[in-house]
Structure 1
């Protein structure tokens, strides 16, 4: 995972020197509030189009046995109705990553998605795709604030381990396709090479 972040940052810094393109770096404050460090890079490819990638990583165990460990990448194409990095956009994206969660009950939905979540760790991976909508508010020539939301379908492949008790030698891999939220954000956006 560290190599992935380093590669992403190095690639982003290489693009910063390209004067013909406008590059934005962002971070989602809602993910930070959920103890998930994250970074995103967007590159303008036309007057109304950007392509980007966000990376999220959460290595934590909360308390003695509550895990919300995960990482995921989300490449995205955005079409901006007015102009790039300005006001309303619509996007399509892919998403993929790995997770190890368990030891707690999810608010509102309980354990309906992953039965036994309070007593088991669920380990696995996921891939999916979705659509998004968002809006960027102008703050200054180099700063915007972005509101974003997205949803899609993901294919999960996972197995469960009991939190307390003997670990089984072999696991039954389960596969499911689920509708999932793929994005929910309030992000700070820094624009390089800004022409505003």
Structure 2
């Protein structure tokens, strides 16, 4: 369609940060799927667009203060929905530069462990997150 496109992003960090002594320390292991339906105001892949995205994530996060997991580990999943705004610049016949930001809601469910590499499950944690869900600058090749 002239004004619509579907963007499907995925991300994977399979590295667990395991140290030589068997401990894990800081770790941000995850798999992310981020489909987004976009409406382009001019034509597809050119200038302004708005989008509706539905992210899904599987994660295993330990000892990261910014994420609230200092001295503990959380293993779980999350899903949600959000809206985004972006702009795409034509660089040449096949290349574009795109910037996008998005906000939305995520439901996160995880099992909490007392330290980064040991212990029995302490509890199930359920969180509701409202805030940024997307920020990217992409270099795009179009066939």
Query: What TM-score comes out, normalization by structure 2 length?
Result: 0.88
Distance 1:180 1:102, change over 3 A: farther
The runs of at least 4 consecutive aligned structure 1 residues that moved more than 3 Å come to: 61-64
Give the Å deviation of 1:61. 3.3
Choose which of 133, 137, 142 in structure 2 pairs with 1:182. 133
Give the Å deviation of 1:167. 1.1
Structure 2 unmatched runs, 5+: 20-24
In terms of fraction of residues, the more helix-rich structure is: 1
Matched, 1:77 2:32: no
RMSD between aligned residues:
1.7
Matched, 1:191 2:134: no
Aligned residue pairs, count: 138
Contact 2:63–2:116 under 8 Å retained in 1 = no
Q: 1:137: which partner in 2?
A: 89
Contact 2:26–2:116 under 8 Å retained in 1 = no
Structure 1 unmatched runs, 5+: 1-45
* Whole-angstrom CA distance in 1 between matches of 2:80 and 2:116: 32
Distance 1:164 1:190, change over 3 A: closer
Distance 1:164 1:91, change over 3 A: closer
* Whole-angstrom CA distance in 2 between matches of 1:184 and 1:103: 24
Distance 1:181 1:63, change over 3 A: farther
Q: How do 1:113-132 and structure 2 match up within 5 A?
A: 114=68, 117-132=69-84
Q: 2:123: which partner in 1?
A: 172
* Whole-angstrom CA distance in 1 between matches of 2:106 and 2:116: 29
